Structure 1
Amino acid sequence: MSVSFQSTRLMLLVLFFSLFGSGCAATLHKNTDLLPAEEYLKDDAFPHFRAYPIEQAREIFALDDDAKAFVAKATQGLHSDEDNIKMLIRRIFSRSELDLIYTASANTIASDTFQNASANCLSLSIMTFSMAREAGFISEFQIIDIPEYWTRRAGYSILNGHINLRIKSNNRANKKVLFEKSFVVDFDPVSGADQFISRDASVPVVLAMFYNNKGAEALMKKNNDLAYAYFRESILADDGYPGAWVNLGLLYRKIGLYDFAMNAYQKAIRLDKDYNTAWENLAILQKHLGNVKAASDINRRLDAKRNENPFYHQMLAEVDREKGRFESSIHHYERAIRLNRNQHEFYLGLASVYFEKGDFKNSKRLLNTAKKKAGKSKVADIYVNKLTALSNFIASAHIN
């Protein structure tokens, strides 16, 4: 991978979230884990970062009057907390009451999420957390340890993560509850989070994730000072969140601060020795610095670990397709399908490659398969439209 970081993995919490394991050997800078977070920062390298106003915690979680009225209406007239919680959740998801649109790049504060009705999973979860608290319920964030999963945007492979909420009644001290019921609210557009381990996430951790997302967006837009401002705020919110350290290291590497980049990656690894993205970015840096063997050792272990992950092959296939390496892209998509035959996105990706190759017969066949794999979901309707468009294209071009 080149220094241009076109294929570098960003820790962007789109859904919300993400390394490599115990066998990787790397030379770590002495005692960097003992330094306070501020010692890793390089303010003077980003002279304009203070010019950008950064959302503070109170603003991020605050609800405006319209959102508060929505909560009051959703929970009025019902007798039990359980009924009120269910009604609030139902209203939030109901398009007739709040036309929520999932948008991966929309990292917004709670009041803007409500007004715009467009946000990503993290922002939707923050809004719902605040609404549950407004209604008097206990609301807690949960990190979901999903497998590594990437999406492509603006030439980047973005490693996704996931977060959801658990809401329960705020029982008074004089109430004795033998079995307390809680409700999980999950905005993941691809279901299945219940298959994976969840762990509690504090508000400071969620703030760190929010700032990290905003920083990653700024980095992709080549606004280095704004990206630094957000990564810095993320680390100050919770310096135990490794994603921000990786992205800060990527930013440092981009502007040639290699020692600072090394320390940031190693800080992430000390926080999570199994953090593949930190190891991968460390390998990129090692290769750039001429430490080819160290980089090769890390990459070999990463490839061995990821080789059975179908989403890893999907990501490689998408990179190959963008670069016009169609045969290699087909190979990786086929490998992904062999590992998981039920992901309709794999068939769509492969259909796209065949379309770009001019093989419209295989493209149409694979689109049909993608539609079948999508089942009765709304995505299936999109495939129907794609198939119609492809059929019309084939007919107009007189292609057999």
Structure 2
Amino acid sequence: MTHLKLAKLTLYVALCAILSSCSHYPLSNQPATNIIEMPFAVGNKFLPRPIITPPEQILSLSSEHKKALRDYFNQKENRSMLPNKRLAQYLEDYVENYFYFNQTLTANQSLAKSQGNCLSLAILTTAFANHLGIDIGYQLVDSTPVYQEENGIVLSSEHVRSLLYAPKQELQNGISFFSRSAIAIDYFPERNLRVKRQVNKNEFLAMFYRNRAAESLIQKNNILAYWQLRKALELKPNDQHAINMFALVHEYHGLKVHAEALFKYGIERTDDKLNILKNYEIFLQREERFKDAAKITRQLSSYKTKNPFDWIKRGNNSLAQGRHYEAKRYFKRALKLAPYVHQAYFGIAKSETYMGNHKAARRALKKAKENAFELKNKELYQNKLIALKRES
């Protein structure tokens, strides 16, 4: 199998915020399940009902973009290459002018803006492959999750790589080879990644709606997130990530009975319970049901956390209680897991400031500024640096 490292993409790995994937399996015309069995609130609690991007629009291409792709594909100098290699080359040329943008876009939107996040690029690859009739497959691979926080919501990524398959080879009597070469279009071009499983087309589309729902949650648009998650769960039932967000949407919308029922539903029916348990613990603490929350805390103690924001939370709690050196240790634990998380550097800066170590605090603030992606955070850290310099 050939691995193609796409130019520009590896620079933005830490910024691919939400879950993404694709697949070559056919899309069913029927919903994957009757989600009426799930304990969510009826739609009249989330009105007015917004317009949701239909599945067929996600992967559609404009006539202009189809023509540009065909023109490249049929150029004389490219005809000697296998179709999957030609498309891989086209993608490599295209992404040289493609910029990271933390929003999930359809194929046409991504082309129009020359930007998008990791899932947007996977969608674009799929749209190109579908138009050219190239078989495409996707694998969920085992890699270190990337974490970030926006508006109090911690986002984590999964890594999916796409496979562009060479044409089928037929023998006599119509017998085909089942084993074919493929080019891996990989956002993490590491060798020897362990493949966890295949991802089918319905799950791919569900991830688009799940990404959009996460973006809506960050913007505090509970109504839009509700309908996007309804669509995601129609396509992939018992998706732990979607159920987790669905419970949060209900909680934020004031439907606490439904929220708790969804937390319990997800805990009972999904294999990966960690995030659902964490959010259920927080839910119970907000409701001041501390005995119930303590039971969930005991369950969580058996999990080994890989989320740096768990340590950042502990660090902030220690800061609030005046335990500054302990807080610094927690922030350093976060950086061991994710050295790109600017909030951990900021926590160290606050710890050092409280302990009177202004020089160390300035170093930490500079690192926080270097690792911050959004302008508002960079400006915050710059202002803190100026203020600290005045105090020194």
Query: TM-score band (shorter)?
Result: 0.7 to 0.9
1:174-213 to 2 correspondences below 5 Å: 174=171, 180-187=180-187, 195-213=193-211
1:84 matches 2:86? yes
TM-score (normalizing by structure 2): 0.73
Answer yes or no: is the 8 Å Cα contact 1:165–1:186 preserved in 2: yes
1:153 matches 2:150? yes
SS at match of 1:170: coil
Residues 180-211 of structure 1, C-alpha deviations (whole Å, 9 max, x = no match): 221222336xx659634332111211111111
What is the Cα deviation at residue 276 of structure 1?
0.7
Answer yes or no: is the 8 Å Cα contact 2:47–2:223 preserved in 1: yes
Answer yes or no: is the 8 Å Cα contact 1:150–1:315 preserved in 2: no
Question: Please, which moves more after superposition, 169-178 or 124-133?
Answer: 169-178
Instruction: State the aligned residue count.
Output: 344
Instruction: Provide closer, same or farther for how the CA distance between residues 244 and 107 of structure 1 changes in structure 2, counting only shifts above 3 A.
Output: same
How far apart are the structure 1 equivalents of 2:167 and 2:266?
36
The amino acid of 1:185's aligned partner reads: I
1:48 matches 2:47? yes
Long gaps (5+) in structure 2: 1-15, 21-32, 372-377
Partner of 1:276: 274
How far apart are the structure 2 equivalents of 1:324 and 1:115?
50
Partner of 1:239: 237
SS at match of 1:293: helix
Kindly, what percent of the aligned residue pairs are identical?
A: 18
Residues 23-51 of structure 1, C-alpha deviations (whole Å, 9 max, x = no match): xxxxxxxxxxxx9412434234435242x
Answer yes or no: is the 8 Å Cα contact 1:136–1:170 preserved in 2: no
Residues 215-273 of structure 1, C-alpha deviations (whole Å, 9 max, x = no match): 22222222222121111111122223221111111111223333322332233234423
Instruction: Provide closer, same or farther for how the CA distance between residues 283 and 207 of structure 1 changes in structure 2, counting only shifts above 3 A.
Output: same
Partner of 1:333: 331
SS at match of 2:36: helix
How far apart are the structure 2 equivalents of 1:279 and 1:42?
21
SS at match of 1:163: strand
Question: Please, which moves more after superposition, 178-187 or 159-168?
Answer: 178-187
Instruction: Provide closer, same or farther for how the CA distance between residues 48 and 349 of structure 1 changes in structure 2, counting only shifts above 3 A.
Output: closer
The amino acid of 1:279's aligned partner reads: L
Partner of 1:128: 125
Residues 139-186 of structure 1, C-alpha deviations (whole Å, 9 max, x = no match): 123333445543111122223333331211232534865862212223
Answer yes or no: is the 8 Å Cα contact 1:121–1:163 preserved in 2: no
Task: Give me the CA root mean square deviation.
Answer: 4.0
Instruction: Provide closer, same or farther for how the CA distance between residues 181 and 229 of structure 1 changes in structure 2, counting only shifts above 3 A.
Output: same
Partner of 1:251: 249
How far apart are the structure 2 equivalents of 1:113 and 1:323?
43
Question: 2:263 is matched with which residue: 253, 262, 265?
Answer: 265
SS at match of 2:198: strand
Partner of 2:375: none
How far apart are the structure 2 equivalents of 1:160 and 1:203?
19
Partner of 2:30: none
How far apart are the structure 1 equivalents of 2:86 and 2:245?
40
Answer yes or no: is the 8 Å Cα contact 1:205–1:241 preserved in 2: no
Answer yes or no: is the 8 Å Cα contact 1:74–1:87 preserved in 2: no
Answer yes or no: is the 8 Å Cα contact 2:170–2:177 preserved in 1: no
How far apart are the structure 1 equivalents of 2:313 and 2:129?
40
Partner of 1:23: none
Question: 1:301 is matched with which residue: 284, 299, 302?
Answer: 299
Answer yes or no: is the 8 Å Cα contact 1:142–1:199 preserved in 2: yes
Answer yes or no: is the 8 Å Cα contact 1:148–1:312 preserved in 2: no
Answer yes or no: is the 8 Å Cα contact 1:313–1:335 preserved in 2: no
Answer yes or no: is the 8 Å Cα contact 1:316–1:329 preserved in 2: no
How far apart are the structure 2 equivalents of 1:367 and 1:222?
29
Question: Please, which moves more after superposition, 237-246 or 348-357?
Answer: 348-357
Partner of 1:226: 224
Question: 1:118 is matched with which residue: 105, 115, 118?
Answer: 115
How far apart are the structure 2 equivalents of 1:116 and 1:125?
15
Answer yes or no: is the 8 Å Cα contact 2:104–2:211 preserved in 1: yes
What is the Cα deviation at residue 101 of structure 1?
1.5
1:311 matches 2:295? no
Answer yes or no: is the 8 Å Cα contact 1:110–1:123 preserved in 2: yes
Partner of 1:143: 140
How far apart are the structure 2 equivalents of 1:221 and 1:325?
33
Answer yes or no: is the 8 Å Cα contact 1:283–1:299 preserved in 2: yes
How far apart are the structure 1 equivalents of 2:315 and 2:129?
39
